[in-house]
């Protein structure tokens, strides 16, 4: 990571509804040989790209699997 990128880092604090969900997420990440941080960053990047695209086209964003309707 370059010095410029390090300066632009931001913290995102997430409160999950249960310790059980956190533990399951941690286990899933371990099975995929990725860190929890890497998985969250990947999700946020994908979410932003999908939703920015829908803003340009004017269509509604897709709901994620398990997202409340």
pLDDT in tens, 31-69: 999 999 999 999 999 999 999 977 777 766 566 665 554
pLDDT at position 64 is: 60
- Report the predicted TM-score, pTM, of the whole model to 2 decimal places: 0.68
pLDDT at position 56 is: 75
Kindly report the three-state secondary structure assignment for every residue of the chain.
CCHHHHHCCCCCCCCCCCHHHHHHHHHHHHHCCCCHHHHHHHHHHHHHHHHHHHHHHCCCCCCCCCCCC
């Amino acid at each position: 990571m370059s010095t410029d990128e390090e300066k632009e880092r931001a913290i995102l604090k997430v409160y999950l509804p249960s310790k059980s969900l956190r533990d399951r997420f941690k286990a899933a990440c371990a099975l995929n040989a990725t860190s929890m941080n890497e998985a969250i960053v990947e999700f946020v990047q994908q979410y932003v790209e999908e939703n920015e695209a829908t803003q340009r086209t004017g269509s509604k964003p897709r709901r994620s699997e398990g997202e409340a309707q």
